[in-house]
Amino acid sequence: KAPEAHLYLAKQMWEEANHCQAFEYVLETFPLDKEKIYQQHLITPSIKAKEDWISNFLAKMDERLDIETIEGKRDFVRNLVAYNIVMEGIWFYSGFMVALSFRQRKQLRNFGSMIDWVLRDESLHLKFGINLILTILEENPEIVDEGFGEEIKNIIITGVEMETAYNKDMFPRGILGLNADYVNQYVRYVADRRLEELGFEPHFHDTNPAKWMASATDTLELVNFFESQNTSYEVNARANKENKDEGEKEVV
């Protein structure tokens, strides 16, 4: 019910709409069988399983959810863990690593720049979700017990298992230095970081196979303006204002 949370969620919805538009542009631009691509969530079992799984959590987030009850509060936390931690904090990061690995090889550089923008938004969505979950648990200690904690941990582990199956379908064979084992090791590494952020012990104990991703997830990045465009909203907003001011001067 916090007004600041409502305001941030409105901003997040706007950002997600931008992401959808960006990825739709990519799908429409790349030389792909578009009909086949858009049907994948129906015909590929691992994709459909992920869609059905997350939909089951989202279906409970309607007007019937009573967050005044202990079970209602737990359902709310379950949804946050599934959506913010698993989907945005693990599944999306798996995709980000795959996409940005091409840029590491000097390929699809503009696509990589687009991913930078999406990644910066999603990293904030993830941090918001983590902070919201921890705040709810702190303010409602009655919902926390050993059984509920184990349930939350199992939601994350299940999410990893589903992403593992998906990556095996996506990479039946290796391509350009990528294979399912490499990507799934990164998934397990990221999942352990998410568990730690929620106060759990690591579960998988994998090392990071893509250490270069640490720089990609840094929210403040300095770039050479003669070579690239800075993905910081603050810098770009200031640049747009300066361009507007210059245009007004020319008119005068």
Catalytic residues: 25
CA dihedral 68, 153, 194, 83 (to 10 degrees): -50
CA atoms of 94 and 186, how far apart (whole Å): 7
Q: Residue 89, Cβ neighbours under 10 Å: how many?
A: 25
- Alpha carbons 142 and 47: distance in angstroms, whole number: 36
Q: Please, where are the H alpha helices in 30-145?
A: 34-38, 40-43, 45-58, 70-80, 92-104, 109-139
Exposure string for 70-85, b = 16+ CB within 10 A, e = fewer: eeebbbbbbbbbbbbb
Any idea which residue has 């992920």 for tokens? 50
Cα torsion at 69, 74, 75, 77 (round to 10°)?
Answer: 130
Amino acid at 9: L
Q: What are phi and psi of 175, to 5 degrees?
A: -150, 125
d(CA 169, CA 166): 5
- Cα 75 from Cα 131, distance rounded (Å): 17
Cα separation of 102 and 111, whole Å? Answer: 9
> In 3-state terms, what secondary structure has residue 33?
coil
